[in-house]
Each structure stands twice: as C-alpha cells, then as structure tokens.
Amino acid sequence: MSAVEAPVPVAGGVAIPAQPERSEGAFRQMARRFVKHKMAVVGFVVTSLLILIAIFAPWLSPHSPYAVTAEFSAAPSASHWLGTDQVGRDVLARLIYATRVAVIVGFGTVAIYVTFGTVVGLLSAYLGGWVDMIVMRVTDMFMAFPYMMVILVVVSVLGPTLGTLVLVLALFSWPSIARLVRGSVLTLKQMDYVKAGIALGLSTPRIVFRHILPNALAPIIVNATFGVAAAIMAESGLSFLGMGVQPPTASWGNMLTDAQSISVMTDQPWLWLPPGIMILVTVLAINFVGDGLRDALDPKQ
Amino acid sequence: MTTAERSPAAEPLLRIEGLKTYYPIKRGLLSRTVGNVKAVDDITLDLYQGETLGLVGESGCGKSTIGRSIVRLENPTDGRIWFDGEDITDRSMSDLRGARMKMQMIFQDPYSSLNPRMRVQELLAEPMRVHGVAGGAELETKIDKLLDTVGIPRSYKQRFPHEFSGGQRQRIGIARALSLNPKLIVCDEPVSALDVSIQAQILNLLKDLQKELGLTYLFIAHGLGAVKYISTRIAVMYLGKVVEIGTKEEIFANPRHPYTQALLNAYPVPDPRKRGQERIVLQGDVPSPANPPAGCRFHTRCPFVQAKCKEREPILRGGDHAAACHFPLAAL
C-alpha cells in the first residue's frame, strides 16, 4: 500500500468525536479487501453454513443418524431424501451429523497445532542459539517421519476416538507452522522497530507478543485456513481406511467406505456421492477462503 | 552557529573506554569460531552534556556498531561504558531499563523503525506507560505535546505509520525517542534515508530540540554534510578505529589524518573556483575487518604510506585534536 493513500473516512459510526482522523485499522482493511474476492466470499459463506449445520445438527436432521429403519439401501424417497445405507440408517441424517466430526477435527486440530507451532516458532527464532538449533532438529525429525504410518500405529494403539485423531493430526502438523513462524520472526526481529522496542526498555514478552507476533500473523492465518481443509481430508482418509472415526458415529470418510464395492459404486450412488460431494465442497470452500485471506493480508498490494 | 561550550573539568555524560565489539565468524557443523569481524576495535570516546559528536566513516567502518553497543542493541566484547556517572557495562537487560530511559536512539530507516500495526498514539504511549512516566489524561497531554514538539498535527495521532511520508515518520521516531525525556540520543544516520529537502528540516528539528532540552547527540553519518551542520565535535572512523577526533572547525580546516583529508576531498565543493587543488582520491576497497592490515590500518590505501606504517600501529594522540597517524599532515 502506498504511503500517500488518503485517509479513509470512518464508516459505520465508530468514530470517536474527539479523534476525527482515526484511520482504518488492519482488520477493517483486511475485511475490505477480502470481500472483493468473490470466490473467497462464497467460500466463507459455505464454511459458515457448514459450521451452523454442525452446531444445529439435532434440529436440522430429519432422523436420528443411528436409528435403523426397515429399509436397507433404499433409494432416495420422500421420507429419506438421500436414501438409507446398507444398515438402514438415513443418509441425510448421517451426512448432517458427520459435519460435526469434520468441523471438530478441522478446527480442533488447527487450533491446537497452530497455537503450539506459533509459540514454538516464535521462541525458537527470538531466543536463537542452541534453543533454536534443538527445536529445528526436532521439527526436522517430525517432518522426515512417514507420518501416515505413524498415525495408523498410534490410532490403533490408543484407540480411534475423535480426541486421539485430533491430537495425532496436530502432532504431525505443528512443525510446518513452527518453521513458517520462525522464518518470519527471524526477519522481523531485525526490523528497527523491534530494536527500538529494546532501546525503549520494553520487556521481552511485550516485544515478542505486541510487536513481533501481530506482524507475523498474516502467513499464520493463511496457513491455518489451509490446515483446516487438510485436517478434514486427513480425517476422511483415515476414516475411509477404518482407522478414523468408528461407526456407528458418522463421518464423511467412513460413509465412503461403503463405496468400496463395485455394486454400490454403480447401483447405489446415494451412498457415496453425498459424502464425496460434501468433502469436495468443504475443502474447496475453505481453500477459497484461504486464497482470499492470502490476498487480503498481502502487504504488497 | 552556536557551539555548546564545555568546561574541561566537566564530567562526560558518556564515556566509552576501550570498547570492542566483535562478531564471531562461525564455520562448520559445530559452529566453531574461526575468527572475528572486528567491527569496533578498541575505541575510547567522551561525550559531554549538550554537545553533538559527529561520527563519520565509510560503510562498514563500525560507526553504527558503536551506537548500537552504547544502547546495548549489541553486546560489547570488551571495554567499559559509563553513562551519567554510572558504569553500565555489565548491567543485565532488566537492570538497564533505568539507563535506557535516559538514552535513546533514532534509526536510519523511518520505514522500518515504526511498528506498522500501531497507531501513532499507541507508538508514543507505549514507552511512557511501560516506564510509568505518565498515565491517563496526563499521557494524552504528553502525547499531544510531543507531537507539537516534532511538528506533527495532533489530529494525526490515530493514523498508522504507512499514512505518513518518510520525513514525518522520522519526526514520529524522534517524538518516540523524546517520550522518555532522555539525556543522550544516538542518531544512527537519521537523515540518510530522506530526501535532501527533508534532511534540512530534520536536522533543524534536532538542533532546536538540543537547544530546548539540553540534549546530547551521538550523530552517526557517512556523509560530511549533515555532520558539518549539526556537530560540535567530529570523530572520523576507519575500520573499527577512530583515526581523528577534534572540533568541527579543526577537522574541516586542518585535517591531520590522510583519511580525513580524503573524506573531505570526496565531499563535493559547491564553489567551482575552490575546486581542484590537491585532492586525495582513495584507491581500492576497505580491507576486511575480519583481517585488518597490520600496522596502521589505513596503510593499504594511504597515499603517503611509509615503511613504519606497515609495522607499527599509530595511537591516537594530540589532545583535543587527536589523530592516529605516524606522519600527520602539516597544518596548511
């Protein structure tokens, strides 16, 4: 952005009369740029809808996701809009409840690993020296692991609960964000405003969290957004393999397991098409949000 | 031009003695130290209350490192620093906080010296709040006063740094440095990143502030123009050493060290009639500070080099106008 940019008039009555020249803050500026990105807005709406569906699943769902009816593998009808599965449960109900799993895994995993990875990356870069060296070697180790295999082993040892799944996915995701944060902090800590903070006698936590972190936030947010999509994909994959969310709890991944047989693939598309589409739409929507955020947060625009 | 007089008996506000700041050169898997970049190598300087000491030299001669070592953005390898009568060399970061209030820094690049995510108001309020200088309504009054002092309209205080020009940002940087009522300000090339027309404004502001508040400046610059305008005394540095120090008038009228002469000659003369005579033009590059030449460090580029220069290192001598040269230039 250019230094000569005219002060933007205050919108929406947030102006404090005594301070007429209050210019727009980083968040409003980001929001203004984000809404220009059409696909990102669509993605944001879809993601918000998914979260709402997850929250209000009991009210939205026409049936219980666990209730077994007399009709097995029934085609879509008026009472079962998306038909029933091979055990006779309503597919739409299961689809709606599976949104909960996706949202919990997606956002839960990201919340844990982004927080952890950010703190580790910040400290590693700011403290430097042997702390940095040890942390970076640990991240190297994690990144060199064939993690899918390790996840399979851990899940089979600890039992495939939702909590285990979230923790295990987070365990193998934090190193990349720690490295990302470390990189930008290494650059930021050379900035004169950080030096000025030291010369002004500000405390180290203050410099790290008030001066460095806010300026390192943009790539973290973008990475976290893509991380949600990646975690949902990973959960689906694991559930598909039977190592993730266990039936009878519904997850898009374990709903797809049914599609392993050719006859279901060809004759009963209502069993696998809806969860497949849900995964696709969710991941796409979140990635669009990520794209939009990346553009909106790019300081060079 | 007023020259802040100093009584010879006065205690210096800042005294640097034998300051050395080395950067280790690390190689290999185990990060063994294979050598040192001697950015600042054994420097002794006194700064008196109310004066401006200009520190000049080429890029990489260590002048900025001295400034950073004084405010402890770098840790000195050796030597002692006294400030305001106290030895602050061995103070830990937290013990330094008191001294830091009295010793501030103005940075070269006004684009990177202000946190882009903070409004001017927050930028100025933060140090005062942290040090308990002011709070509440008093804080707001102080911020307004600071903005008045540096000539930024009060109504701009809710703006972000990117909404200001380079000169305005530098003014905000100065206001921030003043917020803690310092005695000493290290100015690290405060005008070199600005347009020429803005440079004069900032220099005048610094001069006015000095007169008003009795500030002491360590003014670091690579060009002689700004230094000539603002300094009372000038120290010339070459490869981590002070090669000549004296009053501004002495340095300009009567340089003793060939390097000072060369710097003066490199400074463009506006009057064409005065151009031309006996210029020293330096050849070659500055040797590596990791491996400075033996003897006089300037001997590889000195036009008057003699055998002695390559063997023995000259010491700085000559009282108030001292030069580190075996064969100082004669007075013109």
Each residue's pLDDT expressed in tens, for chain B with a length of 332 residues: 334 444 455 688 999 988 888 888 887 777 777 888 888 888 899 999 999 999 998 888 888 899 999 888 888 888 899 888 888 888 877 777 777 788 999 998 888 899 988 899 999 999 999 888 887 888 999 999 999 999 999 999 888 888 899 899 999 999 999 999 999 999 999 888 888 888 888 999 999 999 999 999 999 988 788 888 899 999 999 998 999 999 999 898 888 999 998 888 887 777 777 666 667 777 778 888 888 888 888 888 888 888 888 888 898 888 888 999 888 887 54
Measured CA angle at B287 (ends B286, B291), to 5 deg: 150
Q: Is the pLDDT of residue A19 over 50?
A: no
Span A100-112, mean pLDDT?
93
Work out the angle between the directed axes of helices A213-240 and A147-158 (0-180°, nearest 10).
70
Whether A196 and B71 lie within 8 Å, measured CB to CB: no
Span A76-88, mean pLDDT?
79
- Cβ-in-10-Å burial (0-12, 13-18, 19+) of B123 comes to buried
H or E stretch including B186? strand B184-188
Q: Out of A3, A21, A299, whose CB is closest to B155?
A: A21
Q: Out of B103, B127, B158, whose CB is closest to A23?
A: B158
Q: How far apart are CA B54 and CA B104, in angstroms?
A: 16
Q: How far apart are CA B253 and CA A247, in angstroms?
A: 92
pLDDT of A44: 94
Q: How close, in Å, is residue A296 to chain B by CA atoms?
A: 15
- Reported as a single tens digit per residue, the pLDDT across A85-103 is 878 788 888 899 999 999 9
Q: What is the ipTM, given to two decimal places?
A: 0.84
pLDDT of A300: 53
Span A239-268, mean pLDDT?
83
Q: How close, in Å, is residue A111 to chain B by CA atoms?
A: 24
Residue found by looking up tokens 């010339």 in the block? B236
Q: How close, in Å, is residue B101 to chain A by CA atoms?
A: 7
**CA A292 to chain CA mean position, Å:** 14
Chain A residues whose CB is inside 8 A of the B159 CB are: 7, 21, 23
End-to-end, the C-alpha distance of chain B in Å comes to: 24
**Of B108, B236, B223, B116, residue with least CA distance to B164:** B116
Span A2-9, mean pLDDT?
43
pLDDT of A14: 42
* pLDDT grade for A12, boundaries at 50, 70 and 90: very low
**Of A172, A155, A48, residue with least CA distance to A110:** A172
Name the DSSP class of A35. Answer: T
Whether B158 and A21 lie within 8 Å, measured CB to CB: yes
Name the DSSP class of A84. Answer: B
* CB neighbourhood size of A277 (10 A): 12
Chain A residues whose CB is inside 8 A of the B72 CB are: 198
Q: How far apart are CA A122 and CA A109, in angstroms?
A: 20
Q: How far apart are CA B163 and CA A4, in angstroms?
A: 6
Domain boundaries, chain B: 10-42+50-231, 234-331
Domain B10-42+50-231 has CATH 3.40.50.300: yes
pLDDT of A10: 42
Domain boundaries, chain A: 28-52+100-297
Q: Please state whether beta strands B78-83 and B86-87 pair in parallel, antiparallel, or not at all (unpaired).
A: antiparallel
* Mean pLDDT of chain A, nearest integer: 84
pLDDT of B231: 92
* pLDDT grade for A49, boundaries at 50, 70 and 90: very high
H or E stretch including A53? helix A38-55
CATH top-level class of A28-52+100-297 = mainly alpha
The string of DSSP codes covering A266-301 is HH-HHHHHHHHHHHHHHHHHHHHHHHHHHHHH-TT-
Q: Are A189 and A135 in contact (CB under 8 A)?
A: no
* pLDDT grade for A8, boundaries at 50, 70 and 90: very low
* pLDDT grade for A108, boundaries at 50, 70 and 90: very high
- Residue A280, phi then psi, degrees to nearest 5: -60, -50
Work out the angle between the directed axes of helices B136-150 and B166-178 (0-180°, nearest 10).
130
* CB neighbourhood size of A231 (10 A): 25
Helices (H), B215-282: 224-230, 248-253, 258-266
Q: Are B170 and B194 in contact (CB under 8 A)?
A: yes
Whether A193 and B105 lie within 8 Å, measured CB to CB: no
Chain A residues whose CB is inside 8 A of the B93 CB are: 204
Q: Are A225 and A286 in contact (CB under 8 A)?
A: yes
Q: How close, in Å, is residue A39 to chain B by CA atoms?
A: 28
A297 or B323: which carries more pLDDT confidence?
B323
Q: Are B160 and A7 in contact (CB under 8 A)?
A: no
Lowest mean pLDDT among A217-226, A264-273, B29-38, B229-238: B29-38
